[in-house]
Structure 1
């Protein structure tokens, strides 16, 4: 068979859909082994890239930034909470984009739809925030409507978006806090944001990584056995006690 016999009424293509050949079990198994080998190569390359990312230089943040949150005005330092690592996604849920305030940017909304519960990141000394220029009232309505209550949303009030390359397009910035000092450690935008939201991909862009013993990290980095830090997201007592 070289083509699909029925497209279910979907005529978006330019003719019959050309599908791969149908083969025996032995041929399928051999093809799967070859594909699995290629996938392992890509996985090892991703691990090596994450190790290189953990060795990127840091940029000290000298400027104070302010945001409006559900409880009032806060600074960049406050977005970390009790964690040392912070991931900030710039979302376009704001005036002038899409059908706001009825709807936000469809792409940024899709990113929010698969954002991991923050409790899992907190087990690795990491948290995240979504920022936009939407008002807190409008963002609160969207959170309730879309089921985004687990996502911390903040309103931009200054040049944060322009200073970090996300004033005209979405993007993800990563920061590390050492006492009162804050550093920018990574940035990704465009199609790179397609991978964001998943726990593992987010941890892989942080300076400390997944913090598991198998990782290639600089000396002295925190590491534990895999699986030992996993929790159920409703286990609030598992949140680390850090200041």
Structure 2
């Protein structure tokens, strides 16, 4: 027998009735997310000045980071200069994304940008087995202008290109990035959830300090080899 507390045990009919109640709320949340996405498609946009980033082959204009696509998503990876292991949250988030070629069908691309010097950034990409293309904003105001200045947090930005002109269409940071992840949605399906102390759980449910279950960056590197 487990020493952990368990949900109450009921008959199948009672379970189905409770599940149907919850399902109604889940479907309502899905419809609300659809409505939010519809509003996102109606957002105005901001024309950007020309930015130059650093890529694997040297300086590259932001318009060329699109790789010929018209739409671009950038994940701004937190960076601490000179450290072997970077933010485990960013490392874990970016480790989820493989087979990004499906975005070709949507005329879009997804890349990582970071304040780290390009040599360090590419070495870290290799060390952790990351799949996305990386670019450096070191020496450019791009990261700071997009909500991810040196020494600060992470962010996601979305851009639209018309010829050589780039527009910023959307931005989020903090827990706003969870919608792009598959890890937390999977964990949230589990009976015990994330097991973090801030979550609303039944009495006696296992809980621990926030982040205590997260892998360190070294762990992602181990499985990325």
TM-score where L is the length of structure 1: 0.69
| Preserved CA contact (<8 Å) 2:50 2:61 | yes
> How far is 1:165 from its partner?
1.4
> How far is 1:5 from its partner?
4.7
The corresponding residue for 1:203 is: none
> How far is 1:64 from its partner?
1.6
Give the counterpart of 2:157 among 160, 169, 173: 173
How many matched pairs?
179
> How far is 1:20 from its partner?
2.7
CA–CA distance in structure 2, aligned partners of residues 33 and 47 of structure 1: 21
CA–CA distance in structure 2, aligned partners of residues 79 and 117 of structure 1: 18
The corresponding residue for 1:80 is: 66
Q: Residue by residue, what CA displacement relative to the aligned partner does 1:127-151 show, whole Å, maximum 9, x if unpaired?
A: 0211112223222222222121x20
The corresponding residue for 2:32 is: 45
Runs of 4+ in structure 1 off by over 6 angstroms are none
SS at 1:123 equivalent:
helix
Q: Residue by residue, what CA displacement relative to the aligned partner does 1:5-53 show, whole Å, maximum 9, x if unpaired?
A: 513xxxxxxxxx4x43110011111111221121111111100110011
Give the counterpart of 1:93 among 72, 79, 84: 79
CA–CA distance in structure 2, aligned partners of residues 117 and 94 of structure 1: 28
Structure 1: gaps spanning 5 or more residues = 8-16, 199-243
The alignment's C-alpha RMSD in Å is 1.7
| Preserved CA contact (<8 Å) 1:101 1:138 | no
The corresponding residue for 2:109 is: 127
Give the counterpart of 2:23 among 36, 44, 48: 36
TM-score where L is the length of structure 2: 0.74
The corresponding residue for 1:152 is: 133
